[in-house]
Amino acid sequence: MLPSADVAPRAALPLTADGIWLRVAGAVPAAARPGLFLDRDGVIVEDTGYLSSPSAVRLIRGAAALVRRANEAGIAVAVVTNQSGIARGLYGWDEFAAVEAEIGRQLGTDGAAIDGVCACPFHPEFGGSDPERTARWRKPGPGMIEALAAALRIDRRRAWMIGDKASDIEAARNAGLAGAVICLTGDERSARDRSLRLDSANFAVREATELNRIPAILPELFHDAPK
């Protein structure tokens, strides 16, 4: 475990009755708005494998600029992340909270801010979690997206997902989003073909190799968002 100076106080942990991390920052508008859902590891930060220390947080190039652009366009920015390292006993919510605080700090230095974060600690092979609960909350289940969409008043038909794994893209489809972008920023390039096969008349799938290309790839989101 990390030293006490490197973890957040337990009283601050926003856990639901289901054991899901759900945190919303700031005021939520009355009217529904467009949204951008982001996976965390491999999209916002480098995927180091069970990230548990703030000192290991490295933003992926273009992540802060993308979040700031969405902030400026009036698009709600939400992070949905599977955190099976908790089920595996590799770290706890205190360590997760410390990492989240450091991500927020690094984004903030570039004028970017996340509106909400949802994290699922469940894994079907660890911890004996209820199978139905695991399937609902853990991506590709839709639970985290649905919960943040409700909490942030996001119109899911005007919302997109950015992920680096096929499970991210499947979660977006299962939650009824307009579409998703498979972002080839890490080592999950094998997910590309599986993700692109999900493209349909009701769910669009696109691809990107750099985060700074996302606004151009999603003109219907960024160009039509309220200023």
List, by residue number, the catalytic residues: 39, 41
CB 121 within 8 A of CB 80: no
Cα 29–Cα 32–Cα 33 angle in degrees, nearest 5:
90
Which strands, in side-by-side order, build the sheet including 21-24?
21-24, 116-120, 76-82, 33-38, 154-163, 179-183, 204-208
170: left (phi over 0), alpha (psi -120 to 50) or beta: alpha
Rounded Cα distance, 191 and 187, in Å = 9
Looking up tokens 């893209």 gives 169
Give per-residue burial for 51-85: e unless 16+ CB within 10 Å, then b.
bbebeebebbebbbbbbbbbbebebbbbbbbbbbb
**Nearest alpha-carbon partner for 90 in 54, 42, 59, 126:** 126
Rounded Cα distance, 88 and 13, in Å = 19
